[in-house]
Amino acid sequence: MRYTVVYWNRAAGDVYEVIRSEMPAGWSLVILEGDTKEAWWDQLRRADFLVVADWPITEEDLQAAPKLKMVQHQGVGHERIDKEALKARGIPLALCPAGTTVGVAEHTILLILAVYKRLVVADRKLREGVWLQWGLRGTSFELAGKTLGLLGFGRIAQAVARRAYAFDARILYHDPYLQEPPPEAAAWDITAVSFAQLLGDSDILSLHVPTTDQTRRCMSTPQFEQMKRSAILINTARGAIVDEPALIKALESGTIAGAGLDVFEQEPIKADSPLLKMDTVVLTPHIAAGTLDALRQKMRSVFGNLQRFAAGKAIEDRVV
């Protein structure tokens, strides 16, 4: 049977080509045209399936899609999707964990090293004609021998731990929902600790939890004040986990030493954010999982799940 898939996001042309290359034969892809919700709603009327990356989906959006059978997220962050409206229509929502683990784990290590080695400062100054061969030695560090604390120890945090172990880091984690780490983690010299100990002992604190009522702004002034003054914060998870004004204050006051951030409370980040002017902070625009390798893997998984639904089979990673 022929199905119409609406991609409920805007993307570059090469992204659409990857999506098309993974679609089942005979299915059609609708790329949103126009610049208004009304124009997009008109195109939603054709949708059998909706694939979304990071846009919200509201009750109004769903009302514009009378044929809609299923919503498939290409990632895992579903806090901006009206799940009650989906339930009311009996429309399932599924997530796609595939394709994020490696990219986010690598990006976490990238941010740690970039903050520790003052990469952005070194690059910028070199381009300005300033040769800092000796100028950064007092403020640059190695990952080897440092204590990496992981808040959350799911699949991405475990992939980070595996990589950090290869850098000779000591690894701590706090995850109240994990009964015990996977057997292979025993080889990584990891230790489960309380949240308070994680904050106090970590040279690097890396966040790997979803946004929930319990985790929203769980990193705020009291938590920063429990960290070492030499510690750095890494966030490749969700911006809402961190109280951004409190983080800015902690960085400005020297309560913590630096940060590497791929996600923010408001995205895109505000143009007047003090974070943009801090030499001790490395920022990227929510690209940790944004690789071509990940996109291909995601789309194979996305369309595999949609095909399961179309065949009347149980879908994977269902939320609603």
12 class by beta-carbon count within 10 Å (0-12 exposed, 13-18 middle, 19+ buried)? exposed
- Residue 79 a catalytic site member: no
- Residue 286 a catalytic site member: yes
Catalytic residue among 286, 296, 300, 308: 286
Report how far residue 295's alpha carbon sits from residue 98's, in angstroms, rounded to the nearest whole number: 9
Polymer length in residues for the chain: 320
For residue 194 the two structure tokens come to 């309380």
Report how far residue 66's alpha carbon sits from residue 47's, in angstroms, rounded to the nearest whole number: 8
For residue 261 the two structure tokens come to 């951030």
Return the amino acid letter for 269: I
44 class by beta-carbon count within 10 Å (0-12 exposed, 13-18 middle, 19+ buried)? buried
Strand boundaries in 215-288, DSSP class E: 232-235, 258-261, 281-283
- Residue 238 a catalytic site member: yes
Q: Is 80 helix (H, G, I), strand (E, B) or coil?
A: coil
Report how far residue 43's alpha carbon sits from residue 7's, in angstroms, rounded to the nearest whole number: 10
Cross-strand partners of 281 = 259
Catalytic residue among 10, 80, 267, 318: 267
Distances (CA, A) of 134 to 26, 38, 121, 131, 139: 61, 58, 13, 8, 10
Catalytic residue among 118, 170, 238, 265: 238
Q: What are phi and psi of 209, to 5 degrees?
A: -125, 155
Which residue intervals of the chain are DSSP H helices? 13-22, 37-44, 59-63, 83-89, 101-116, 119-127, 155-166, 195-201, 221-226, 244-253, 292-310
Catalytic annotation, residues: 238, 267, 286
